Structures are given as structure tokens and as C-alpha cells.
Amino acid sequence: MTALTLSTAAAPGLRADAIVIGVAKGAKGPVVAPGAEALDKAYDGRLAGVLETLGASGGEGEVTKLPAPAGFKAPLVVAVGLGAEPEKDAEFSAEALRKAAGAAARALAGSKKAAFALPLADAADAGAVAEGALLGAYSFDAYKDNGKNAKGNGKAPLGEIALLGGKPRDKAYKAAIERATAVTEELNRARDLINTPPNDLNPEAFAAVAQAAAKEHGIKVQVLDEKALAKGGYGGILGVGAGSAAGPRLVKLSYTHSRAKKHLAFVGKGITYDSGGISLKPAGHNETMKCDMSGAAAVFAAVVAAARLGLEVNVTGWLALAENMPSGSATRPGDVLRMYSGKTVEVLNTDAEGRLVLADALWAASEEKPDAIVDVATLTGAMVLALGNRTFGVMANDDAFRSAVVEAAEEVGEPSWPMPLPEHLRKGMDSPTADIANMGERMGGGLVAGIFLREFVGEGITWAHIDIAGPAFNEQGPFGYTPKGGTGSAVRTLVRVAELTAAGELG
């Protein structure tokens, strides 16, 4: 795990493997960003010209390495692009700082220590740089030879980060670093879960991880196994898990604060492997389906982060865990399931299973009458077609709450887009046999799924649905602070929603 500290040391005298500086894209070429004054002076004020000669433009995520000048104990300078130079009297955005810090941390894999001298206008900037650097330094090597240090399989993550320009004794700076550390550690734990092969992370194993974390951080935990689910009438979760030798679980994580005035419920889809069931996925569509529990991982991480941060809001996390497999005992297309709410659902497609486990968990969450519910799921390929691989869709039964969730996502740097719930799409789920079918019109499939979920939210409860099918698992190359593989999408949005609720700014 990468360590991070605030440092008051001067850049020239700091012992490190590298010094990271920022460079922006100016109108006439690269511009050295604040924080690199000592380096620029050592280059006689010509650092921008040297970088331009080396091909640097200051573009977002661009990394340029050059030898450090005489007088510096660090042998290497890493100049990372911040994107366009801000307008006069403006500062770099938090997201620009996060992305630059992440790109630099990735570029320094294999190094023991680096000093980050990126522009810090205030404590919030320090938090953004810390967050980006710690997320960028992530690596999942548990299944590689000698994976603890990644030898022989690539380079180990950057070992230590010294953040220059901060104020170690300032309460705001200390709080920003503590927040960044807690959130990124839990987000990276979510990434680990998403990346873990499904033969090692079935519902029971996931529940065990949640139980251990709950014990460590003072969170109350309840796990319903197959017998308890059957006794309780959780037909959706049981129906999805019926085909697997690994039984389903419903995990409830309860974080409470003595001064809390609001109660949030987060609900996560946790399909630890999705074969599609009897409606089997074709080859080419099932190789990454270990990531179908990303919603549950996000909810788990957010609840633990809320506890670590001591937020003055009660947060309950519901992890609906099952493995969707074909077998003689699996749910068939045409079967009817009686859900926890009492409603019946005709299963027309067993690969539309996420909404079934979420429906039971949503109704269970609704019984506690929280002030708001937010569910997170890798729910539909239709949302990927609509918004691409980096943006999640947000639907809600309240337009103001939907806007608040989208704004929270934007604030923390998670691309999102508000999506509607058109009433005319509900008719497509009418069933001659049951109260509702789990499939409707093909066009607008992501919206159809949201309308289905709305049926299982208690009356009068504010609810939002986040479909992270696109950004949950990055199959392409890493960028900014986002690695290849599990990303931890929606963790930071959920944490921010909890923070705003605790502050009385939401709900």
C-alpha cells in the first residue's frame, strides 16, 4: 500500500527517486505550473522550453521525464500534463489535479519514493492530488508470482509519496489528506474485489470480507444465507442463485452515528459471476463477468468509508449477492418468482438477473423507511450503448434528487448523465401470468430496467438508480488515475452523497 505524507521540505534537498511537477497547455506552448519554481530556477527559467524541446505540450495526462538539474538530490523530474492553462486568477480544477497525479503515480511504478510538487491553492487541492496519486498507484498482483512485490511480473506500485507545498499542521490540510486516504483505500479494496477471480469470490466469500471489515470499523453486520432467505421469502435473490452450487447471500451493513439526523440506504448488485443462466451469454460476453458485483463492491466501500470518516449520517448498505449459473436447478425462462415484496415476476430472460436481486434488497431497504435510497449496479448493456464506457446513468423518482446525485458525481470527478423514466415503457413489462415481467421493450433497455426497480421502492421514499455498466470495468488501457480492470466506479459519488446529507445540504 502506497504511503502518503505532507512535507514542508524544499524540493532540492528532498531525497526521492523523482520530483513530479505540473505543466499546462498554454496558448504559445507548455507552461510550467505553480509548485515547480525551484526547478524552473535551476534551469535558469528555461524549463518550459526544455520540456517543449522534449515534445511536451502540457496536454492532459502527458508524461515527460528528464534528468534533474544539479543541486537536486532526486535524480529525475517527471513533468505531467494538466491540460489547458486556467484563465487569469483561476486555478486548476480538482479533477485536473487528480488525473495528473494519477498519471504520474502510474508512470513511477517501481520507484520507492516520489515528491509531488503540483499546484496547491488550498487544502482541497491537496486532497485532490493525494486522491489521484493514491488511486493511480493501485496495482492488483495477488495472482502473479511473488505478487506481494510484483517482481518478475512488472513493477511494484510507487512506494511512498511526499506531497510538497502543503501544511502538515493545518487542520484543513490534515483533514483533506485523511479523507483522501480513507476513501482511496476503500475504493482500492473495491477494485480488489472486482478483480478477484469468481472461483475465489463467491457470495459466501464476499460476505466474509464484509463481515471482517465491519468488525474492524465498528459496523453492525447481518448476513442472510439460503435458509434465512427462504424463510424470509426473498424469491428474487434465491431465484437468481438457484443454479449455482455457491448459495446466495444478502448482507446488511449498518453504520450509525449518535448525532445523525438522516438515514441513507445504499443497495448494490452483487452477481459474483454472471453466465446469463439458462439464457446463456455468448462467447465474447462472459469473460469479464466477474465484475458484475461492482455495485455491491461500491456500496460496501462507501459504507466503510463513511464509518472511517465518522460522517454524521446513518448509512445502511445492502449487498445482494448471488452467482448466476445454468444447471438443472436454475431458474428457467417462463418461471414466476414471488419476490420479497410479495409481487410476482415472470422471468423472460435469466440474463436480466440483476434487477431481480436488487428488487428484493430495495424492498428490504424500504422497510426501514430511510430518507433516501441509492442503488448501484452494472445493470444493462443498453446504458453502455447510450453513454459509452466512462459515464454512468442516473435515474430517480425525484428530479431534484437525481440532479443532486449527478452534481455529487461531477464534484468528485465521476462522469454521469441524468436519464429519464418514461411512463410509456412500463406497459412493455405487463405479464399475462404475473404482476410484472423482468423484460420489456428492447429499445431504451436501461430505462426499462430502472422502471422495473422503481416498482420495488417503498411508497414515499426518495430513490435513485445508478447504472455503472460502462465505467465499472476498464477493458482498455489505464488513463489518469483509472487502472485497467475494476475501477471502483460510484464509490466516491456515494461517499459524497453521504457527506452532503450529513452536512444538511441534501435531503
Q: What pLDDT does 235 receive?
A: 98
- Give pTM, 2 decimals: 0.97
Q: What pLDDT does 151 receive?
A: 46
* φ, ψ (nearest 5 deg) of residue 407: -65, -40
Number of Cβ within a 10 Å radius of residue 483: 23
Q: What pLDDT does 145 receive?
A: 81
The residue type at 433: T
Q: Choosing from 144, 281, 390, 484, which is the catalytic residue? A: 281
The candidate with the shortest Cα–Cα distance to 352, out of 288, 229, 432, 436, is: 436
Q: What pLDDT does 372 receive?
A: 98
Residues 269-326 have pLDDT tens digits of 999 999 999 999 998 889 999 999 999 999 999 999 999 999 999 999 999 999 999 9
> What Rg, from alpha-carbon coordinates, does the chain have?
24
| Cα 218 to Cα 242, 303, 487, distances in angstroms | 33, 11, 26
C-alpha cell of residue 351: 440474463
Q: What pLDDT does 152 receive?
A: 43
Query: Is position 106 annotated as part of the catalytic site?
Result: no
C-alpha cell of residue 120: 496547491
Task: Provide the phi-psi class of 482: left if phi over 0, else alpha when psi is between -120 and 50, else beta.
Answer: beta
Residues of the chain with pLDDT under 70: 146-154
290 by DSSP, 3-state: which? helix
Q: Choosing from 189, 355, 492, 496, which is the catalytic residue? A: 355
Query: Is position 261 annotated as part of the catalytic site?
Result: no
